[in-house]
Amino acid sequence: MEQPKFAVIGGGSWATAITKMLCHNMKQVAWYMRNEAAIENIKINKHNPNYLSAVEFDTDQLILTNDINEAIAYADYLVFAIPSAFLGSELQKLTVSLENKIIISAIKGIIPETGLIVGQHFMQTYHLPIEQIVVLAGPCHAEEVALERLSYLTIAGGNLETAEIISESLRSHYIKAKTSDDVIGVEYAAMLKNIYAVAAGMAHGLGYGDNFQALLMSNAIREMKRFIKKVYKMKRNINDSAYLGDLLVTGYSLFSRNRMFGNMIGKGYTVKSAQMEMNMIAEGYYAAKSAYMMNEVIKAKTPIIDAVYDVLYNGKEPKKVFRKLIDKLN
């Protein structure tokens, strides 16, 4: 049986980790990144010089290119793993059709220009059916994939047979993968957990301890449930790893860039200075605005999202905002 053909779009740590996962099972994987110098370095030294540099690749397995159209033309399954803020500009380069392509969102963010999750962006902009949309989610940090530590993925798709093909392509001795049909809910959860991780970071930066963090996370999962139910009502277990598990690892892990960003804000950094010092995209920053604006319509009870939005976009002092937030948590 012929192997499915995959292309990974992105050159960061998550794209590098996904490429590593696919190389366990695929004879070849197309890998697009903008940075031509990084491509040449991988060809010579067999690792990405900028992200997860300890991961060594067999370059015979890789079709490396800085032409997004070449990667997309090669593959049937397209894994998008670039910051959501840059997705629009990358897609503007397309000259090949996305018809009959399976779109796999590994972005865990929201498109700033439209306020849409990635799957919905592809459905609305490129008129793709939900059966061609898949979301790669779950508690799975790229850094732990690089170390081959046991990790769990949820592959949510509008077509479960397609989701299972992708799951099989990613599984290995350290990657467990299961499927879900909640393609919309899982992607919203992946977006929302970044906001809650920013909140967790702010709390840490302000000096709150583990007791408050536990309270914050327990309230966050209930808030997530209310929000997603308003957006896309279906039967789901919010305690599954794709929802609660991803929230916990992003809220607590030292690998979490969203927690790191929030921690800097809590310690007194301005938004701009925190972004400049991190030199990485914290998806929760963009997600907070989109979720807040969306909630003005859906009217879910979201005190944590409101608090993060007030700090990041209204310039309110984190200490004062969290004092008020405390009274709204239980």
Query: Do residues 137 and 257 share a domain?
Result: no
Query: pLDDT tens across 126-159, in order?
Result: 999 999 999 999 999 999 999 999 999 999 999 9
Claim to verify: residue 117 and residue 200 sit in the same structural domain: no
Residue 1 lies in a domain: no
Beta partners for residue 136, in sequence order: 155
Residues 272 and 158 in one domain: no
Give residue-wise pLDDT tens across range 230-275.
Answer: 998 999 999 999 999 999 999 999 889 999 999 999 999 999 999 8
- Model confidence at 114: pLDDT above 70: yes
30: left (phi > 0), else alpha (psi -120 to 50), else beta?
beta
pTM of the model: 0.92
Please say which residue of 135, 151, 181 terminates a domain. 181
Structure tokens at 200: 């967790």
In a domain, 201, yes or no: yes
Classify residue 163: in a domain, yes or no.
yes
Residues 12 and 144 in one domain: yes
Of 35, 198, 33, nearest in space to 109 by CA: 198
Would you say residue 150 lies in a domain?
yes
> Does 42 reside within a domain?
yes
Does residue 168 share a domain with residue 228?
no
Q: Are residues 225 and 95 in the same domain?
A: no
35 with 177, same domain: the answer is yes
197: phi then psi, degrees, rounded to nearest 5: -70, -35
Q: Which residues contact 229 (CB under 8 A, 6 or more apart)?
A: 300
Q: How far apart are the first and last CA of the chain?
A: 54
DSSP letter for each residue of 276-315: HHH-S--HHHHHHHHHHHHHHHH----HHHHHHHHHHHS-
Do 97 and 51 belong to one domain?
yes
Same domain? 195 vs 144 = no
- For the chain, the average pLDDT equals 95
pLDDT of residue 2: 83
Q: How confident is the model at residue 1 (pLDDT cuts 50, 70, 90)?
A: low
Parent domain of 53: 6-181
104 and 234 co-located in one domain: no
Q: In terms of domains, do 126 and 247 share one?
A: no
The confidence score (pLDDT) of residue 174 equals 96
CATH at residue 127: 3.40.50.720
| Last-in-domain residue among 157, 181, 205 | 181
Which DSSP string do the residues of 210-221 spell out, in sequence order? HHHHHHHHHHHH
Helix crossing, 303-313 with 257-266: angle to 10°?
Answer: 60
Q: What pLDDT is stored for residue 109 in this prediction?
A: 85
Q: pLDDT tens, 212-235?
A: 999 999 999 999 999 999 998 999
Exposure pattern of 17-31 as b/e (b: 16+ CB <10 Å)?
A: bbbbbbbebbebbbb
Which CATH number characterizes residue 233's domain? 1.10.1040.10
Domain C-terminal end among 133, 166, 181: 181
Percentage of residues of the chain with pLDDT beyond 70: 100
User: Which of 193, 230, 316, 324 is labelled catalytic?
Assistant: 193
Do 274 and 127 share a structural domain?
no
pLDDT at 299 over 80: yes
Q: Is residue 27 part of a domain?
A: yes
Is-catalytic flag, 319? no
pLDDT the model gives residue 281? 81
Count of structural domains, the chain: 2
pLDDT in tens, 78-104: 999 998 889 999 999 999 999 999 999
Is 82 part of any domain?
A: yes
Average pLDDT over residues 162-186: 96
